[in-house]
Structure 1
């Protein structure tokens, strides 16, 4: 059974504190490929690699149901800086 955006969002919000979350279904609605932008205080002091490993561990069951999963992870301060560069 394909994973829905709601299922993925619920799993993420249950796994860690979320300041901001964007989920994009990159598979035209079939639930096979998702990209996320996740902002959390839980990432403070962690390298990008450690953050990605943390998310992969927290979402192991959900990721196993997908063909592809990509993530961008930020601390709240990093996300504000990222947004400032975008404008």
Structure 2
């Protein structure tokens, strides 16, 4: 019988994304109604996304979190370059 899986939390996922994608900004929110760590929403800002289409960006995230995603019911992600993040925040016109 398989163990319950890796210890999942928004903070654990955030740390993996920060390190694995050399991200400059990561937000992860547990969106499970009971906060039982089975549904998450994320925002990842990384220069590694430059020049990559959305599908490739999502694949990078999915590959990095492959083990964790086996135990997650839903995972929503936004992947931005630093330039896109800055523009979205109103810093660049």
- Mapped pair 1:57 → 2:70: no
- Larger helix percent: 1
**Structure 1: runs of 5+ lacking an equivalent:** none
- Corresponding residue of 1:73: 79
Deviations 1:24-51 (A, max 9, x none): 1100310000010000011011011110
Aligned length: 85
Scaled by the length of structure 2, the TM-score of the pair is 0.83
Distance, in Å, in 2 between the alignment partners of 1:17 and 1:65 is 24
Deviations 1:68-87 (A, max 9, x none): 001000000001111229xx
CA RMSD of aligned residues (A): 1.6
Any idea what SS the aligned residue of 1:84 has? Answer: coil
Scaled by the length of structure 1, the TM-score of the pair is 0.88
Runs of 4+ in structure 1 off by over 2 angstroms are none
Deviations 1:6-40 (A, max 9, x none): 22122212311011111111003100000100000
Bigger CA radius of gyration: 2
- Mapped pair 1:32 → 2:75: no
Any idea what SS the aligned residue of 1:3 has? Answer: coil
**Structure 2: runs of 5+ lacking an equivalent:** none
